[in-house]
């Protein structure tokens, strides 16, 4: 990394998009970020279900990342998802086994909040171009 260009930045002065990179501000992938609040004392159960959902997505080529995290809030669970596009995300919700997992998780969820759909424009571990 040089002082002239921030990490990951192209040192060329023209503003034309670089091969293999989306132009600045153009979404490469579809993302979701949100918070689940588990029923009191049931966070670990809900985390386990969300991790099973993540494992089930292992062979889904449309799912780039499905991250389950906790914070210092005792019942909070944060989920970050990155997909090749919204259609891939929507299709992932349709298989019967996924519908069953969602149905099983619902009684463990007290609230869903801070949900945001995101236009992901890049980052470490993400593809350079939209597939």
pLDDT 10s digits, 51-78: 999 999 989 999 999 999 999 999 999 9
Mean pLDDT of 103-124: 93
Are the beta carbons of 109 and 39 closer than 8 angstroms? yes
Are the beta carbons of 35 and 112 closer than 8 angstroms? yes
pLDDT at 131: 44
Rounded to two decimals, the pTM is: 0.74
Taking the C-alpha atoms of residue 57 and residue 79, their distance in angstroms, rounded to an integer, is: 14
pLDDT at 127: 75
Across-strand partners of 65?
82
When pLDDT is cut at 50, 70 and 90, the band that residue 29 belongs to is: confident
Taking the C-alpha atoms of residue 78 and residue 37, their distance in angstroms, rounded to an integer, is: 9
- CATH architecture under which domain 29-119 falls: 2-Layer Sandwich (3.30)
Unique residue bearing structure tokens 């919700």: 93
- pLDDT at residue 105 above 90? yes
Sequence-ordered list of residues with C-beta below 8 angstroms from that of 36, at least 6 positions apart, any chain: 46, 50, 76, 77, 78, 79, 109, 111, 112
């Amino acid at each position: 990394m040089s002082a002239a260009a921030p990490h990951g930045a192209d040192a060329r002065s023209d503003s034309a998009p670089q091969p293999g990179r989306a132009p600045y501000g153009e979404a490469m992938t579809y993302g979701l970020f949100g918070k689940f609040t588990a029923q009191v004392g049931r966070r670990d159960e809900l985390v386990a279900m969300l991790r099973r959902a993540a494992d089930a997505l292992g062979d889904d080529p449309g799912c780039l990342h499905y991250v389950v995290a906790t914070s210092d809030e005792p019942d909070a669970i944060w989920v970050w998802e990155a997909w090749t596009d919204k259609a891939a995300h929507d299709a992932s919700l349709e298989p019967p086994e996924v519908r069953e997992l969602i149905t099983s998780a619902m009684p463990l969820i007290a609230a869903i909040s801070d949900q945001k759909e995101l236009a992901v424009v890049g980052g470490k571990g993400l593809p350079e171009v939209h597939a």
